[in-house]
A and B are shown apart, each in its own frame.
Chain A
Amino acid sequence: MAYIKKVLAKFIFVMPLFFSSLVFSESSDYNMPIGVTEVSESIFELHMVIFWICVAIGVIVFSIMFWSLWKYRKSKGAVAADFDDNLWLEIGWTVAATLVLVWMAVPATQVMVEAYDDAEGEINILITGHQWKWHYEYLEDEVGFFSNLSTSQEQIDGEVPKGEFYLKEVDEPLVIPTNTRVRFLITGNDVIHSWWVPDFAVKQDAIPGFINTAWTNVPEPGIFRGACTELCGIKHAFMPVVVRAVEREEFDAFIAEKVTLAEAERLLTSKNWTKEELMERGEQFYQTNCAACHQAGGQGIPPVFPALAGSQVALSDSAKHIQILMEGVQGSAMAAFGESYSEIDIASVITYTRQAWDNGEKGDGVIVTPQDIVAYKNRIDL
């Protein structure tokens, strides 16, 4: 009997039926993803509990309302009663509303306590939001890298067809081991960003000057895609998060390789670089890290992002050029790149911008080497 009533109620009210049937399906095309961690599953269940409570209240309130509208139409000769209060009814529904809220608050508090836990992880990763890319650093092993959007500009502009992971792919995903407690320490370099992976139910703001924490423990290998969720400027939609969870051995191998690479990079700093080598590396660096603002052809978007082609600094003031790259420009979007990139990267991109777009012919064409950057870092004129 109760079952029949339930089914009937569903059929009478098209609206709740409409969205309940959509949402009931566990498809993450219209509902919150269940995710892969214990926390994300608890949150999904909590979400569904609250949702169904809301649907139930809605069905009750709306059915009384629409029934009254139907039953007491004037066109049907309804004559208005003239009561205008009823103390017990009013006390009754206030108490009922309170009880329902308590019923919601209990599981909400439990899940919150479960999700909120800032004990140390086995692996600790420092995540830094930059305009407009993420930097990941493995604190135990002191290696790190940037993760940039890898969808091409042509796809965005509609010149070529969009790929399957349009705007959800990066050149280098964050790699974490499975079945390990991983703690994220999240901060921002310039403005506020927010690091979100729906499948882990982790969303934390990346705020300059603060270090927030979040954690996860992923049971199965897989690739998980997320996004930046705090408006951070022009390319807010273009700095996705991609995390690859792998078995522990694969993870250890990954870290070992990163450590070797970092070692090799340190050796390279002392080698003598030719102009061509610097140019090649510099161009690549420029296109990934600088072109977003200063544009691929160096023309910038004045007055917000100055042009580099023909700029005085790039033509004739290499000392200032190094200083800007190392320290950033106060009060503007130009970040201090020296803090996060190697001497080789900085030297090669400076050399590149002093040569490209006729700057080499028009200006002094000074070549800046990694040793110059090391010298800048060791200067004593502070």
Chain B
Amino acid sequence: MSTVVETHDHGHHGPAKGLSRWLFTTNHKDIGTLYLWFSFIMLFIGGSMAMVIRAELFQPGLQIVQPEFFNQMTTNHGLIMVFGVIMPAFVGLANWMLPIQIGAPDMALPRLNNLSFWLLPMAFGILISTLFMPEGGPNFGWTFYAPLSTTYAPSTVNFFIFSVHVMGVSSILGSINIITTIFNMRAPGMTLMKMPLFVWSWLITAYLLIAVMPVLAGVVTMMLMDINFGTSFFNAAGGGDPVLFQHVFWFFGHPEVYIMILPAFGIVSHIIETFSRKPIFGYSSMVYAMASIAILSFVVWAHHMFTVGMPLAGELFFMYSTMLIAIPTGVKVFNWVATMFRGSITFETPMLFSIAFVALFTIGGFSGLMLAIVPADFQYHDTYFVVAHFHYVLVPGALFGIIAGAYYWLPKWTGNMYDETLGKLHFWLTFISVNVTFFPMHFVGLAGMPRRYPDYALQFADFNALISVGAFMFGLTQLLFLFIVIKTIRSGKQATPEVWEGAGDLGLEWTLSSPPPYHSFTVQPQVK
């Protein structure tokens, strides 16, 4: 099975010098670093857009920006956070950690790996450049419902379509690489059911990506045809169907939301077992839960469309199937709690973020369950209640998973321990501000404030001011994170190979030096 892994000593093992190291690199660690920095930069770009949104919403009335710019901000904020921050960060972590966790010297397809990274700056360069064009950038929401995004869109929508295509190619190539690596390059003895959970989570995620990215490509291509070549896929006047757009989009979109959470499940599983000093509870049920979430995610898409006027049977079907997803999700939460139960727990920064992940992601799961109840969703849909829901699963969910992973593996990557005091400060500021920002959104949503509004009625004013304060605090706090990361790269207490007490038995990554050699596992490890 793992015959590919045969390395010779070439005598030149270091990276190339200067810019060409990064442009032409085929090394999984370098590419992982590129992905992670890219995602970090996009976090600040997408984050500044959120700051513009919150500044405008601080008070009722139009003060800072006009609605047309406001809509461009909400749209690009969503697109950048989803496709430019969460997804690339997970791919970066996969690049760094998958080969090391399965005992491989590199990814299976290193040149492809370089290409899939460098497509991303191109895609986002195109997307962001539209903001500076006379007609302005995409302004139809990150879900770009037709016909607002076709017949009624600014002409820069063509750049948007191209950019989505490029992102899709990048994701598909990355997924092919990951699947190939996992299936062909595991160390001898590492059977599928012995793989670390992060590897499992990415294997499943990569299949989801390959299944749904072409669907996204299909829907934007149909848009392109409608806009430029006179077809009427989504144009009712020409016999088309605007609702078809939503079905195709959400057939991509719902698996996409699981693409954004499964790798985080993998990361926090590792962190919780490390700092509870106890093996993860229910390893195999963790794997089965992720697989069933992935499969179910293909049959729930219309829960985003409960108000488009589906027949009763359709509404009920999508309600029941969505509720079913709560079972495997619940099983995962129970397993994490059972791992902590009777452990020997310490509270380093990665653990703090993971505990917060479990608690706050669960709150997002509860609101998800409420949203699945069709009649109640008639009231919740397209209000801030939905905004609260998906921010709870994406910020203290996916993003906390990424931050936790960064703290957990940073000493391994750089060879230096991060500053624990600053890390804890970062955690507490982030934890408080995230809740101040997103918790009140439940209330404004229930009270009736629709989403994507640049201006609102007076009854929502107090909560909105509070939300904005929380958001500014959250934004500023992430500068502290940037500082901590840079500080760790440049200095810090030398990290041991196992980094965390007892981690030596937990995975192959902790058997390598910190930082690991540029080419790791030149001698293939054995897994018992």
| Interface positions of A (Cβ within 8 A of B) | 19, 22-23, 28-33, 42-43, 46-47, 50-51, 54, 57-58, 61-62, 64-65, 68-69, 72-75, 78-86, 89-90, 93-94, 97-98, 101, 104-105, 108-109, 111-116, 131, 155-158, 162, 164-168, 190-192, 194, 196, 198, 201-205, 207-210, 212-213, 226-238, 301, 303-304, 331-333
> Within the complex, which residue of B68, B278, B307, B333 is in contact with A205, where a contact is CB–CB below 8 Å?
B307
A164 to B443, CA, bound (A): 21
Whether A50 and B309, one on each chain, are in contact in the complex, defined by CB atoms closer than 8 angstroms, is no
Q: Is B67 an interface residue (CB 8 A)?
A: yes
B385 shortest CB reach to chain A, Å: 9
**Residue interface mask B360-373, A partner, CB < 8 A = 1:** 00110010011001
Can you list 19 A-B contacts (CB < 8 A)?
A65-B355, A68-B342, A75-B346, A93-B330, A104-B373, A167-B456, A167-B457, A198-B379, A203-B378, A203-B381, A207-B236, A207-B309, A210-B243, A229-B383, A231-B140, A231-B141, A232-B148, A236-B452, A238-B455
User: Do A64 and B152 touch across chains, with their CB atoms under 8 A apart?
Assistant: no
Instruction: Give the distance to chain A from B466, nearest Cβ to Cβ, in Å.
Output: 12
Known: A194-B382, A204-B309, A233-B152. A112 touches B236 (CB 8 A): no
Distance between Cα atoms of A93 and B141 in the complex (Å):
39
Give the secondary structure class of A's interface: mixed
| Count, A-B residue pairs, CB within 8 A | 279
Contact B242 A209, beta carbon cutoff 8 Å? yes
| Contact status A97-B330, CB under 8 Å | yes
The contact of B358 among A47, A65, A233, A236, by CB within 8 Å, is A65
Say which residue of B284, B323, B381, B452 sits within 8 Å of A104 (CB atoms): B323
Closest to A230 in B: B382
A97 vs B362: C-alpha distance in the bound complex, in angstroms? 14
- From A51, A84, A105, A236, B279 is in contact (CB under 8 Å) with A84
Q: In angstroms, how far is the closest chain A Cβ from the Cβ of B450? A: 5
CA distance A28 to B459 in the complex (A): 10
* B-side contacts of A333, CB under 8 Å: 152
Asked whether any CB of chain A lies closer than 8 Å to the CB of B420, the reply is: no
Q: Hey, which chain B residues are within 8 Å of A54, CB to CB?
A: 366, 369-370
Task: Please give me the residue from chain B that is nearest to A238 by CB atom.
Answer: B455
Q: Are A209 and B366 in contact (CB under 8 A)?
A: no
Chain A residues within an 8 Å CB radius of B381: 203, 229
Residue B338 CB within 8 A of the other chain? yes
7 closest Cβ pairs, A-B complex: A209-B236, A212-B309, A30-B443, A237-B453, A229-B382, A54-B366, A80-B344
Contact partner of A105 (CB less than 8 A), chosen from B320, B337, B338, is B320
Q: Which residues of A contact B363 (CB under 8 A)?
A: 58
Chain A min CB distance to B404 (Å): 16
Q: Is the CB of B243 within 8 A of A207?
A: yes
Task: Say whether A80 contacts B343, CB under 8 Å.
Answer: yes
Distance from B78 Cβ to chain A, minimum over Cβ atoms (Å): 11
Q: Mark B109-144, 1 if CB is under 8 A from A, else 0.
A: 000000000000000000000000011000111000
- Taken together as a complex, chains A and B put the C-alpha atoms of A162 and B326 apart, in Å, by 44
Contact A93 B334 (CB under 8 A): yes
Q: Which B270-295 residues have C-beta < 8 A from chain A?
A: 276-285
Chain A CB within 8 A of B489 CB: no
Q: How far is the CA of A75 from the CA of B351 in the complex (A)?
A: 15
Chain B residue total in the interface (Cβ 8 A): 93
Interface assignment of B454: CB less than 8 Å from any CB of chain A: yes
Q: Is B145 an interface residue (CB 8 A)?
A: yes
Query: B303-318 vs A: 1/0 string, CB under 8 Å?
Result: 0000111001001100
CA distance A199 to B444 in the complex (A): 16
Q: How far is the CB of B127 from chain A (nearest CB, A)?
A: 19
Identity of the chain A residue whose Cβ is nearest the Cβ of B326 in the assembled complex? A101
Contact B278 A112 (CB under 8 A): no
B342 in contact with A46 (CB, 8 Å): no
**Which of the residues B280, B323, B344, B383 comes within 8 Å of A84, measured between beta carbons?**
B280
Q: How far is the CA of A116 from the CA of B314 in the complex (A)?
A: 12
Residues from chain B with Cβ under 8 Å of A158 in the complex: 61-63
What residues of chain A lie closer than 8 Å to B279, measured between beta carbons? 82, 84
B378 contacts A72, C-beta separation under 8 Å? no
Q: Are A30 and B446 in contact (CB under 8 A)?
A: yes
Of residues 239 through 261 on chain B, the ones whose CB sits less than 8 Å from some CB of chain A are 240-243
Chain A residues closer than 8 Å to B282, beta-carbon distance: 84-85, 90
Q: How far is the CB of A140 from chain B (nearest CB, A)?
A: 23
Central interface residue in B278, B343, B363, by most chain A CB within 10 Å? B343
Measured between beta carbons, the chain B residues less than 8 angstroms from A111 are 375
For B447, the chain A residues whose CB sits under 8 A away are 28-33
Find out whether the CB atom of A209 lies under 8 angstroms from the CB atom of B327: no
B376 within 8 A of A: yes
In the complex, what residues of B have CB within 8 A of residue A232's CB? Answer: 148
Bound: A43/B447 CA distance, A? 14
For the complex, give the distance between the alpha carbons of A286 and B462 in Å: 36
Chain B residues, CB < 8 A from A109: 316, 319
Using A93-B331, A167-B456 as known contacts, say yes or no to A72 and B312 having CB atoms under 8 A apart.
no
CB of B345 within 8 Å of the partner chain: yes
A150 to chain B: closest CB distance in Å? 14
Question: Would B453 and A112 count as touching, CB distance under 8 A?
Answer: no
The reply to whether A47 and B379 form a contact with Cβ atoms under 8 Å apart is yes
Q: Cβ of A33: which chain B residues have Cβ within 8 Å of it? A: 447-448
- B152 is contacted by which of A190, A198, A202, A207 (Cβ under 8 Å)? A190
Other CB < 8 Å A-B pairs besides A65-B337, A105-B320, A191-B148, 15 of them? A19-B439, A30-B446, A32-B447, A61-B333, A65-B355, A72-B340, A74-B277, A78-B343, A81-B278, A112-B315, A205-B307, A229-B450, A229-B451, A234-B68, A237-B454
Whole-angstrom CA separation of A79 from B344 in the bound complex = 5
Within 8 A of A (CB), among B455-506: 455-459, 463
Docked-complex contact A97 and B327, CB < 8 angstroms:
yes
A112 touches B312 (CB 8 A): yes
Q: A46: which of B67, B375, B459 is its contact (CB, 8 Å)?
A: B375
Per-residue CB contact flags for chain B residues 150-165 toward chain A (1 = under 8 Å, else 0) read: 0110100000000000
Contact partners of A164 in chain B: CB under 8 A: 458
A82 and B67 form a contact (CB under 8 A)? no
Q: In the complex, which of the residues A84, A94, A112, A212 contacts B327, with contact meaning CB atoms closer than 8 Å?
A: A94
Q: How far is the CA of A115 from the CA of B62 in the complex (A)?
A: 37
- Tell me whether B379 and A43 are in contact (CB under 8 A): yes
| Known contacts A58-B366, A64-B337, A85-B281; A194 and B307 CB within 8 A of each other | yes
Instruction: Please state if B344 and A74 are interface contacts (CB–CB under 8 Å).
Output: yes
In the bound complex, how far is the Cα of B294 from the Cα of A125, in angstroms? 43
A50 near B379 with CB under 8 A, answer no
Q: Does B27 contact A (CB under 8 A)?
A: no
A105 close to B319 (CB less than 8 A): yes
Q: How far is the CB of A162 from chain B (nearest CB, A)?
A: 6
Contact of A231 among B342, B343, B358, B452 (CB under 8 A): B452
